[in-house]
A and B are shown apart, each in its own frame.
Chain A
Amino acid sequence: MLTIKNLQAKIGEKQILNGINLQVNAGEVHAIMGPNGSGKSTLASVLAGREDYEVVAGEVEFNGKNLLELAPSDRAGEGIFLAFQYPVEIPGVSTINFMKTAVNKIRHYRGQSSLDAVAFLQLMKEKMKLVEIDQSLLSRSLNEGFSGGEKKRNEIFQMAMLQPKLAILDETDSGLDIDALKIVANGVNSLRSKNNATIVVTHYQRLLDYIVPDFVHVIYKGKIVKSGTKELAKELEAKGYDWIKNEAALV
């Protein structure tokens, strides 16, 4: 589904990604871990098409298309979804209206007709249950005055609405208490299928107790320095990142 080869990216003059290689297949969950500032969130942002980053080398292929050539909205149309680490507050735009626009733009991109009001409402009701989010929250301005947990649940709600092929969760666990974490994880798990894939970017192992990954990768200084199974995450939790740093320094 997703093939990343030697991806290098910089922001301003600072190079952050130094040659990422990663293969994600349908049905898989990959966890990307690593110490602060190692490039985890940058990878997520570059995949979603954030313009602050300049790709200086490498390729990203998504279902046979060159992802790097596509505008962010077209990437969403192709089925990429980024759950933001810091969801943006947008006064004056309600989540409902925003989602109606987004769902239909994506449908148009895929050559489908718009959902009518009834069908949209039905879809919304169904997905609201999944993340235990209240309709009154969705009628309010997007994320404005939402708590940290509400913002993250809203991200997963949007993900459920847009039904992406590849979901990238950027530090979705940050700022969540254990109950909210469970709700978010349940949402993500119930959306898993053999046709879609998930990349979970996280600093801590905690989230991976609930969203169990098939593969765990550790990024350090803009490179994947270690890959393994969920056991690797446990090892990191027990030992911290220092041994990875030391290992990397020896290479």
Chain B
Amino acid sequence: MTTTTATFTFKDILASFDSLIAEDKNTREKSLNNLEQVGFPLSKSEEYKFTPITKLLEKKIKWDHAIAPSTLSSVEPFLIEGLEANLIVLINGKYSTALSKINQLEKDVVITSFADASSSAKVKIETYLGSVDKSKDSFALLNAAFYQEGIFIYVPENTIVQKPLLILHINDANDKQVIAHTKLLAILEKGSRISIVEKSDSMGQQSCLHTFTEEIIVKENAEFDYCKIQNDHGQIHQISNTTISQLNASKVNTFTLTMDGQLIRNNLTILINGEQCESHFNGLYLLNGNTLADNHTVVDHQKPNSFSNELYKGIMDGNSKGVFNGKIYVRPHAQKTNAFQSNRNILMSETASINTKPQLEIWADDVKCSHGCTIGQLDEEALFYLQARGIPHQSAKAMLLYAFALDVLTSIKNETLKAYLDQLISERLHKNF
């Protein structure tokens, strides 16, 4: 894939963009220049070795950056039943004022699109945007050059946001191909707390490309809960670059659930820039059909005395393909680091596959680190045991898979959300495997 097409270049597209914030034009141009140097990942690229993304996109996507139309008038089917939350809705990469609902926010908390941000919020956006995400990932650069929308969240010192924030990304490719590039920037000041649930749904038979870049800064003693639900049914190709930066004694819990779609690539980076930090990051991918889901995670311990724990599990059926890469860096000064990682997989068919790679780079000498990855099949003996007690094959299988998957939900605190995820996973395992 080149950045030139027969009729116009990426530069032409860029020229048509309105600025969302100051310096926008400059950063976009710089990002595009960088992208042109780096190019899109080819099959030899180490980071995309098992994910032939460029080839796929070349086949499926026609470059264009107009916002695709949607006739969607209600987001009811995409909501999480019973979850009392503030709501941000983006349709085809565009913030919907009509469908979003923000009310009863705590004092001085800001939740806004970049375009609608107040002048003081804009100053903060300009200060922090790009400050922690230094990614050279082609899609982060593509996103930086062409993002159509940004969501900004600001939680002032010692403020606890009671209601979770639900961000719905809906990509409606019923009529036309969708290309959406969105950003999220969240600042959690000292001692503050917020929980964000990000859910993406897509529909329609036309191709979709959605990149999002997220930067989250979690300052001293702040707590951030983050749940990403990727339950796309359409022809989605989604590449997310999420960078979370943690300062002293902050806590981060993330959970990523990936189910359908064409190609999902999650780059999740946790930068531990403080001491006494705690990070739990869990993931679950339940794949079948031709879905390819690739989770690349990095936890970078830059300071001593912190703790990170990563648990990703996957079940692959049909022709699906899972990829997991987990990097743990422990820098020379990051003594007394505890870092644990586990990736466990079950393959349900001859044609499903998983490539998993733990990657530990440790420069400090007084640390506790462990990693492990397993790939297996369903335990036939256990399956027979359940069947011998009268549980039919299909239910027995679902029961075992559910038991295998379930402990990834331990970090979810909101009971409604947990019950929803539990139900989603259970239904999926009963119907699709």
Cβ-defined contact, B404 with A49, below 8 A: no
Q: Indicate whether A49 sits within 8 Å of B388 (C-beta atoms), given known contacts A73-B396, A88-B379, A90-B382.
A: yes
Interface check B389, CB cutoff 8 A: yes
Residues in B296-352 with C-beta less than 8 Å from chain A: none
Distance, CA A76 to CA B404, complexed state (A): 25
Verify B387–A49 contact, CB threshold 8 A. Answer: yes
Inter-chain contact B384/A101, CB cutoff 8 Å = no
Interface size on A, residues (CB 8 A): 28
The smallest beta-carbon distance between B427 and chain A, in angstroms, is 16
A84/B385 contact (C-beta < 8 A), A93-B399, A93-B403, A101-B399 known: yes
A102 vs B380: C-alpha distance when bound (angstroms): 18
Interface readout for B376-400 with A: 1 if CB under 8 Å, 0 if not? 0001111011111111110110011
Could you say which residues of chain B place their CB within 8 Å of the CB of A106?
Answer: 390
Contact B384 A50 (CB under 8 A): yes
Partner pick for B400 among A72, A81, A90, CB 8 A cutoff: A90
* A-B CB pair tally, cutoff 8 Å: 69
In the assembly, what is the distance between CA of A51 and CA of B395, in Å?
17
Set of chain B residues within 8 Å of A51, measured between Cβ atoms: 380, 384
Which chain A residues lie closer than 8 Å to B389 at the CB level? Answer: 73, 76, 98, 102, 158, 162
Distance in angstroms between the alpha carbons of A141 and B403 in the assembled complex: 10
- Asked whether B385 lies within 8 Å of A88 as measured between CB atoms, the reply is yes
0 or 1 for each of B398-409: is its CB under 8 Å from A? (1 = yes): 011011101100
- Decide if A87 is an interface residue (CB 8 Å cutoff): yes
**How far, in angstroms, from A75 to B389 measured CA to CA in the complex?**
9
One of B380, B390, B395, B399 near A76 (C-beta < 8 A): B390
Identify the closest chain A residue to B389 (Cβ): A102
Determine whether the beta carbon of B399 is less than 8 Å from that of A72.
no
Question: Please, how many angstroms separate the alpha-carbon atoms of A106 and B400 in the complex?
Answer: 19
**Given A73-B396, A87-B385, A88-B381, CB of A105 within 8 Å of CB of B403:** no
Any B CB within 8 A of the CB of A146 = no
Interface mask (A182-208 → B, CB under 8 Å = 1, otherwise 0): 000000000000000000000000000
Residue picked from B379, B381, B389, B400, most chain A C-beta under 10 Å: B389
User: For the complex, is A124 an interface residue (Cβ under 8 Å from B)?
Assistant: no
A72–B382 touching, CB < 8 Å: no
Contacts of A158 in B (CB 8 A): 389
Closest to A104 in B: B390
Contact pattern, B 67-97, Cβ under 8 Å of A = 1, otherwise 0:
0000000000000000000000000000000
CB of B313 to closest CB in A, whole Å: 11
Q: Is A160 an interface residue (CB 8 A)?
A: no
Interface-central residue, B381, B386, B390, B391, by most chain A CB under 10 Å: B390
Contact B384 A72 (CB under 8 A): yes
Cβ contacts under 8 Å, B390 to chain A: 73, 76-77, 102, 105-106, 109, 162
Q: Which of B381, B387, B404 has the most CB of A within 10 A?
A: B387
> Contact check: which of B380, B391, B395, B404 meets A92 at CB < 8 Å?
B404
Does A46 sit within 8 A of B, measured CB to CB? no
Picked from B381, B382, B391, B402, the residue with its CB within 8 Å of the CB of A73 is B391
Interface flags for A41-85 (1: CB within 8 Å of B; 0: not) read 000000011110000000000000000000111011100011010
Residue of A nearest to B385 (CB): A88
List of A residues within 8 angstroms of B399 by Cβ: 93, 98, 101
Any B CB within 8 A of the CB of A145: no
Contacts of B400 in A (CB 8 A): 90, 93
- In the complex, are the beta carbons of B392 and A73 less than 8 A apart? yes
- State whether the Cβ of A175 lies closer than 8 Å to any Cβ in chain B: no
Which of A75, A82, A101 makes the CB contact (< 8 A) with B395?
A101
Is A37 in contact with chain B by the CB < 8 A criterion? Answer: no
Please indicate the chain B residues that have their CB under 8 angstroms from the CB of A50 in the complex. Answer: 384
Is A91 at the interface (CB under 8 A from chain B)? yes
Q: In the assembled complex, how far is the CB of residue B390 from the closest CB belonging to chain A, in whole angstroms?
A: 4
Q: How far is the CB of A56 from chain B (nearest CB, A)?
A: 20
A87 CA to B388 CA, complexed, in Å: 11
Least CB distance from B314 to A in Å reads: 16
**How far is it, in angstroms, between the C-alpha of A77 and the C-alpha of B393 when the chains are bound?**
13
B395 touches A90 (CB 8 A): no
Complex: A101 Cα to B403 Cα, angstroms: 14
CA distance in complex: A81, B389 (Å): 7
Residues A81-126 near B (CB distance < 8 A)? 81-82, 84, 87-88, 90-93, 98, 101-102, 105-106, 109
- Interface-centre pick from A72, A84, A88 (highest chain B CB count, 10 A): A72
* Chain B residues whose CB sits within 8 angstroms of the CB of A76 once the complex forms: 387-390
**Is the Cβ of A71 less than 8 Å from the Cβ of B393?**
yes
Shortest CB–CB separation between residue B384 and chain A, in angstroms? 6
Chain B residues near A88: list those with CB within 8 A: 379, 381-382, 385
Closest-CB distance, B356 to chain A (whole angstroms): 21
Which residues does B use to contact A, with CB under 8 Å?
Answer: 379-382, 384-393, 395-396, 399-400, 402-404, 406-407
Q: 22 A–B contact pairs at CB < 8 A?
A: A48-B388, A72-B388, A73-B391, A73-B392, A73-B396, A77-B390, A81-B388, A84-B385, A84-B388, A88-B385, A90-B382, A90-B403, A92-B404, A93-B399, A93-B403, A98-B399, A101-B395, A102-B390, A105-B391, A105-B392, A106-B390, A141-B403
A residues at B contact (CB < 8 Å)? 48-51, 71-73, 75-77, 81-82, 84, 87-88, 90-93, 98, 101-102, 105-106, 109, 141, 158, 162
- 4 A-B pairs besides A90-B386, A92-B407 with CB distance below 8 A are A72-B384, A77-B390, A88-B382, A93-B403
